[in-house]
Amino acid sequence: MTRTDVIIVGAGPAGLMLAAELRLAGVRPLVLERKPQRRDIPKAGGLGGQILELLRYRGLLERFEAACTGPVPPPRFPFGGVHLDFTQLADPPLHALPLPQQQLEQLLDDRAGELAAEIRRGHEVTGISQDDTAVTVDVLGPDGPYQVVARYVVGCDGARSRVRDWAAIPFPGITYPEVNRLAQVTLPDEVTVDGNGDLDVPGFGTISAGFTRTDHGLFGIGSSPGSRAVSLYTIEDESTEYDDDVPMTMPELQDSIHRVLGAWLPVAEATRLSRFTFKACQAERYRDGRILLAGDAAHLFPATGVALNAGLLDAVNLAWKLAADLHGRAPAGLLDTYHGERHLAGARTMLHTRAQVALRRGHDPAAEALRAVFTELLTDEQPLRRMGALVAGTDLRYPMPGTEPHPLAGTFAPDLTLHTDQGVTSVAELSHAARPVLLDLAGRPELRELAREWHDRVDVRTAKTDERPADVLLIRPDAHIAWAAAVGE
């Protein structure tokens, strides 16, 4: 029987990211994916939030940007049928890349491959059992059934996770009776795209840019000046439970637009057609013994644009903790902080996506008033920035042990420019290798000395920076600050 350290069930974005991060941490995972080939049904159209900063810290962002299908869109983000409009801000708090999920999975697959992670496609996990020392996984591969024994199994097997069921982890929540249809299309010449993004449709008239709300649902247009390629979307009340693996068709989109707007919108060509049902579910526990959950297996949010950020960051948070445990270097309780930190992150995302449901769904004057008040508040910079940070997940601070942790402890490390004896570097550059770093910014040998007993696993660096936020920072592999010594402490 084959033995391995970690089995990852599912080669979607969360599983592939986890595989790469585990390889960086010196662990050899085995990824088992039931589908023989990568998926070609469109899902996410983009990637945004804190994960982009993490990818930059890994030295990967340029590669991801280069793979984008279009120009980086104006910093406007749909939020429950209104827009968070960052176009007036020079430094928006939320960034997004128009990177369709197929391209994202290709990039993550390439990265996992470069790091020599083993991915077996066409190998379906059909059962799991665990005891105190190991997990036994039943697999159905192209040559028949076999078993693998691992020290840990991570269920990255998506919304209908069977790993979650086998571990008997409850997944409470609700499905909203709404369906969101999304499309990227090219409009034919007969439809005029005005300079402000409005559409003039023959036989119907003008459809305003942004959102149009009717008695039958919500219609949205995202366009760039001068381009006939636009994003369209509808949201309608509908109780059908669609399978994400069943593609949406052009007639389905056009029927939906007709129901919502009462207009037939001519479309020349569609480059992307997809459908999304709104669920709000979160696993009660992200860990049961030797079985862990990440990505959609752990959470489903009732809004688009946030799930990948959450799922990929789960993987980044989990990988180095699993590796520390497997290398026998984890302090007691470290692996349980995965649930503590990422369940909290998921709950924050649930909070604002549920608020989006309330903003989006109401059709009465009270709901109109809520949207009007919310929109008015967002014309002020401070609340707009705060909402941007909430959606991006950049306002998250993981709880850290100790009575009075430094205010930076638990936050994402700022990208300080660092002047060292070897030249200029940065926190982002130091994070490429995903190793913990003790960063002495004040020339304090007695604090560097604290890391002496971990010299084989913590890189100790001395540097100077302008306006140092602390004398010493201990930065974890996921770029969060584990501990900081206050200036002059």
Antiparallel, parallel or unpaired: β 205-207 and 210-214: unpaired
For the chain, the distance separating the N- and C-terminal CA atoms, rounded to the nearest angstrom, is 55
Gap between the Cα atoms of 192 and 233, Å rounded = 18
Question: With binding defined as CB under 6 A, does residue 124 bind ligand FAD?
Answer: yes
CB of 119 to ligand FAD, least distance (A): 11
Gap between the Cα atoms of 477 and 354, Å rounded = 31
Nearer to ligand FAD, 158 or 302 (CB): 158
CB of 339 to ligand FAD, least distance (A): 17
Q: Considering only residues 80, 93, 220, 295, which one is a binding residue for ligand FAD as defined by CB under 6 A? A: 295
Question: DSSP alpha helices (H): ranges in 161-233?
Answer: 162-166
Q: Decide if 323 contacts 22 (C-beta within 8 A).
A: yes
Beta bridge partners, 424, equal 419
Segment interacting with ligand FAD, rule: CB under 6 A, options 21-29, 40-48, 254-262, 346-354: 40-48
Question: With binding defined as CB under 6 A, does residue 361 bind ligand FAD?
Answer: no
Residues 13-32 that bind ligand FAD (CB under 6 A): 13-15, 32
Which one, of 287, 286, 302, 292, lies nearest residue 343 by Cα? 286
Gap between the Cα atoms of 56 and 63, Å rounded = 10
Segment interacting with ligand FAD, rule: CB under 6 A, options 55-63, 69-77, 268-276, 454-462: 268-276
Q: Considering only residues 64, 166, 171, 276, which one is a binding residue for ligand FAD as defined by CB under 6 A? A: 276
Task: Indicate left, alpha or beta for 193 from its phi (over 0: left) and psi (-120 to 50: alpha).
Answer: beta
What the block records as the tokens of 218 is 């919500």
Task: Indicate left, alpha or beta for 227 from its phi (over 0: left) and psi (-120 to 50: alpha).
Answer: beta
CB of 306 to ligand FAD, least distance (A): 6
Q: Considering only residues 7, 308, 438, 474, which one is a binding residue for ligand FAD as defined by CB under 6 A? A: 308
Nearer to ligand FAD, 13 or 210 (CB): 13
Nearer to ligand FAD, 105 or 471 (CB): 105
Segment interacting with ligand FAD, rule: CB under 6 A, options 10-18, 80-88, 337-345, 451-459: 10-18
Nearer to ligand FAD, 307 or 324 (CB): 307
Nearer to ligand FAD, 176 or 276 (CB): 276
Nearer to ligand FAD, 157 or 471 (CB): 157
Residues 167-186 that bind ligand FAD (CB under 6 A): 182
CB of 478 to ligand FAD, least distance (A): 18
Nearer to ligand FAD, 164 or 406 (CB): 164
Question: With binding defined as CB under 6 A, does residue 45 bind ligand FAD?
Answer: yes
DSSP states of 217-253 = EEEEEEE-TT-SEEEEEEEEE------TTS---HHHH
Please give the sequence-ordered ranges of beta strands (E in DSSP) within 115-190, or none if there are none.
118-121, 124-130, 135-141, 144-155, 173-186
Nearer to ligand FAD, 210 or 311 (CB): 311
Q: What is the DSSP letter of 458?
A: S
Q: Decide if 212 contacts 169 (C-beta within 8 A).
A: no
Q: Considering only residues 5, 85, 178, 296, which one is a binding residue for ligand FAD as defined by CB under 6 A? A: 296
Segment interacting with ligand FAD, rule: CB under 6 A, options 33-41, 56-64, 249-257, 449-457: 33-41
Q: Considering only residues 29, 78, 81, 311, which one is a binding residue for ligand FAD as defined by CB under 6 A? A: 311
Integer angstrom CA distances of residue 340 from 114, 166, 187, 331, 401: 31, 22, 48, 15, 12
Question: With binding defined as CB under 6 A, does residue 9 bind ligand FAD?
Answer: yes
Per-position x/- string for 83-122, each x denoting binding to ligand FAD as judged by CB under 6 A, each - no binding: ------------------x---------------------
CB of 155 to ligand FAD, least distance (A): 8
Which one, of 23, 25, 50, lies nearest residue 413 by Cα? 50
Question: With binding defined as CB under 6 A, does residue 299 bind ligand FAD?
Answer: no
Burial class (CB in 10 A: 0-12, 13-18, 19+), 455: exposed
What the block records as the tokens of 122 is 């066409």
Q: Considering only residues 4, 26, 28, 35, which one is a binding residue for ligand FAD as defined by CB under 6 A? A: 35
CB of 463 to ligand FAD, least distance (A): 35
Nearer to ligand FAD, 162 or 385 (CB): 162
Q: Considering only residues 306, 318, 391, 470, which one is a binding residue for ligand FAD as defined by CB under 6 A? A: 306
Question: With binding defined as CB under 6 A, does residue 292 bind ligand FAD?
Answer: no
Which one, of 68, 8, 12, lies nearest residue 35 by Cα? 12
Q: Decide if 224 contacts 241 (C-beta within 8 A).
A: no
Question: With binding defined as CB under 6 A, does residue 125 bind ligand FAD?
Answer: yes
Contacts of 337 (CB under 8 A, 6+ apart): 321, 398
Question: With binding defined as CB under 6 A, does residue 238 bind ligand FAD?
Answer: no
Contacts of 429 (CB under 8 A, 6+ apart): 59
Q: Considering only residues 29, 46, 302, 346, which one is a binding residue for ligand FAD as defined by CB under 6 A? A: 46
Binding residues (CB under 6 A) for ligand FAD: these are: 9-15, 32-35, 43-46, 101, 124-125, 156-158, 162, 182, 244, 274-276, 295-296, 304-309, 311
